[in-house]
Amino acid sequence: MKQPNVYDVIGIGIGPFNLGFAALAHDLPLTTLFLDQRPYFNWHPGLMIEHTTLQVPFLADLVSVADICSRFSFLHYLQKNNKLFRFCIKETFYITRKEYNDYCKWVVAQLPECLFSHRVESITYNKINGYYEMRVHDMIGQYIKTYFTRKIVVGTGASPKIPDCAVETSRERVFHSAEYLYRKKYITPNSTISVIGSGQSAAEIFYDLLQEMDEKQFKLNWFTSSERFYPMENSKLTFEYTSPDYLSYFYKLPQQKKDSVLARQYMLYKGINQELIDAIYDALHHKIIQNGVSPAATIQANSKLCSIDGNRKNGFNLGLHHTELEQAFNCPTDFLILATGYQYTMPSFLVGIKDRIRWTPDGRADVGENYAIDSQGDELFVLNTSVHSHGFLSPDLGMGPYRNASIINYILGKEHFRLDKKIAFQEFGIPVVA
């Protein structure tokens, strides 16, 4: 019987993390394949608001942290597309989301191992031959094909998190921020629009609506249950918390302590760019000068969304609770935008190998220091699903190349990529005193 073609690694999902993995592995002695059910690469298209930028510098691209000489770097993309000099003249570390998306598409076009319109249906483990069997639906050819691999890298990402009170409401007028640009064109003039959330996406949407507020006679509300609208903390000593030093320290903490620490670190990864906060304030101030009256905009913290009554025809009544005053209040609105973040759920295609996955007592995947979750500790790796184990850096774009290179080094059994290890001036554990 003919032996099947067994890949060294198959990646599931082609977002920036698995795309970076594919780019780093492309020229290595590894046979790889990467699958995504979407028809093509498109990174957060619903939030591709004009002029919005990444919150990490351009060096945090798909590969540079692991291999600065890679032909898949952002700087090489600029050079190949006749953009390098203009980028240098601009003198900025932070690129727009659109340019980052274009850069990723440029990388995808050079990697034939990345297949789109391929949905992984199920995975089983062949104990006799020691590899995984993956049933994949080719959505273009409309047939099922089986692929075989020794290792799997899951990079399917998170899905929009919808508050319980909004689950049953109309998606036409009550929608997640991920759909913003798709739904914005249906927002009618003279509407009241409410934004829920206190992160970067909520601020970007509120600022974008501010630009059209006078022309379209919008009334705007911005609510968050947080104590205030926190800016992203960006001091240099704080940035050291994004280092391999802190990653290693955090991983070794007891799980209960990790959960406690993460609950206090929201300003490190859930805040708003200081420049954007200033721009929102300045825009509101300018409207007072221009119009002679305060703009029809409400910005309020300590306000938790508890209920939504009404329908898309007559509008909605939001039931909110002021968490400091301990009082309920209502707010009428025509449209509700939920910038309420994302949540990760274990993909259904892993059900067939659930018994090969390590689990924590509270039902979360037990992620090893090498990002493996299988019982052997070297076969099934996860990306962007390890906040509880590796900390707030897990969804950070800048961590992607470092994590990918670490996994590849582990798979190769040698340090192919030389990674920085001790870079922080400060100590995170007990200091060694000479």
Q: What is the mean pLDDT of residues 66-93?
A: 95
Per DSSP, the three-state class of 409 is helix
pLDDT tens per residue, range 99-134: 999 999 999 999 999 999 999 999 999 999 999 999
The whole-angstrom separation of Cα 14 and Cα 34 is 7
Per-residue model confidence (pLDDT) at position 415: 95
pLDDT greater than 60 at residue 1? no
User: Token pair for residue 186?
Assistant: 């249906």
Give alpha helix (H) positions in 49-127.
74-80, 84-90, 97-108
The whole-angstrom separation of Cα 66 and Cα 60 is 10
Give alpha helix (H) positions in 264-380.
266-269, 274-291
User: Token pair for residue 2?
Assistant: 């003919």
Is 417 inside a domain boundary?
Answer: no
User: Token pair for residue 51?
Assistant: 């002029």
Are residues 306 and 328 in contact, defined by beta-carbon separation less than 8 angstroms?
yes
Q: What is the mean pLDDT of residues 400-428?
A: 95
Q: Indicate if 114 and 207 belong to the same structural domain.
A: no
Greater model confidence, 220 or 158? 220
Is 242 inside a domain boundary?
Answer: no
Per-residue model confidence (pLDDT) at position 314: 82
pLDDT greater than 70 at residue 334? yes
The closest of 9, 298, 296 to 155, measured between CA atoms, is 9
Is 244 inside a domain boundary?
Answer: no
- Of 303, 338, 373, the last residue of a domain is 338
Sign of the alpha-carbon torsion through 76, 397, 42, 179: negative
The whole-angstrom separation of Cα 239 and Cα 36 is 33
pLDDT tens per residue, range 344-376: 888 999 999 999 999 999 889 999 999 999 999
- Quote the mean pLDDT of the chain: 94
pLDDT tens per residue, range 48-72: 999 999 989 999 999 999 999 999 9
Confidence of residue 322 (pLDDT cuts 50, 70, 90): very high
Domain encompassing residue 328:
161-231+271-338
Q: What angle do CA 218, 215, 96 make, to 5 degrees?
A: 85
Domain count, the chain: 2
Helical pair 97-108 and 16-25, crossing angle rounded to 10 deg: 40
Residue 200 maps to which CATH number?
Answer: 3.50.50.60
Per-residue model confidence (pLDDT) at position 172: 87
Amino acid found at 176: H
Q: Indicate if 14 and 145 belong to the same structural domain.
A: yes
Q: What is the mean pLDDT of residues 291-304?
A: 95
Q: Indicate if 295 and 201 belong to the same structural domain.
A: yes
Per-residue model confidence (pLDDT) at position 139: 94
Q: Indicate if 193 and 324 belong to the same structural domain.
A: yes
Sheet holding 297-300, edge to edge: 174-176, 335-338, 192-196, 219-223, 297-300
Q: Indicate if 154 and 169 belong to the same structural domain.
A: no
Q: Indicate if 81 and 167 belong to the same structural domain.
A: no
Q: Indicate if 319 and 294 belong to the same structural domain.
A: yes
How far is the first Cα of the chain from the last one, in angstroms, to the nearest whole number?
A: 65
pLDDT greater than 90 at residue 22? yes
Per-residue model confidence (pLDDT) at position 124: 98
Is 16 inside a domain boundary?
Answer: yes
The whole-angstrom separation of Cα 19 and Cα 169 is 35
Q: Which residues pair with 374 in a beta bridge?
A: 357
346 torsion bin: left (phi>0), alpha (psi -120 to 50), beta (else): beta
Helical pair 16-25 and 400-412, crossing angle rounded to 10 deg: 40
Per-residue model confidence (pLDDT) at position 196: 98
The whole-angstrom separation of Cα 433 and Cα 131 is 49
Q: What is the mean pLDDT of residues 290-303?
A: 95
Q: What is the mean pLDDT of residues 199-219?
A: 97
pLDDT tens per residue, range 367-402: 999 999 999 999 999 998 889 999 998 999 999 999
Is 431 inside a domain boundary?
Answer: no
The whole-angstrom separation of Cα 434 and Cα 431 is 9
Q: Indicate if 168 and 148 belong to the same structural domain.
A: no
The whole-angstrom separation of Cα 352 and Cα 133 is 10
Q: Indicate if 217 and 296 belong to the same structural domain.
A: yes
Is 266 inside a domain boundary?
Answer: no
Is 237 inside a domain boundary?
Answer: no
Q: Which residues pair with 123 in a beta bridge?
A: 134
- Of 292, 309, 338, the last residue of a domain is 338
Per-residue model confidence (pLDDT) at position 18: 98
The whole-angstrom separation of Cα 249 and Cα 251 is 6
Confidence of residue 434 (pLDDT cuts 50, 70, 90): low
- pTM metric for this prediction: 0.94
The whole-angstrom separation of Cα 59 and Cα 401 is 10
The whole-angstrom separation of Cα 373 and Cα 371 is 7
Q: Indicate if 185 and 280 belong to the same structural domain.
A: yes
Measure Cα distances from 353 to 96, 131, 149, 348 in Å.
40, 12, 14, 10
- Of 319, 338, 357, the last residue of a domain is 338
Q: Indicate if 306 and 360 belong to the same structural domain.
A: no
Strands 114-115 and 118-126: unpaired
Is 261 inside a domain boundary?
Answer: no
Confidence of residue 421 (pLDDT cuts 50, 70, 90): confident
pLDDT greater than 80 at residue 433? no
Per-residue model confidence (pLDDT) at position 2: 59
Confidence of residue 268 (pLDDT cuts 50, 70, 90): confident
Q: Indicate if 171 and 134 belong to the same structural domain.
A: no
Provide the CB-side half-sphere exposure for 364 (13 A, CA).
15
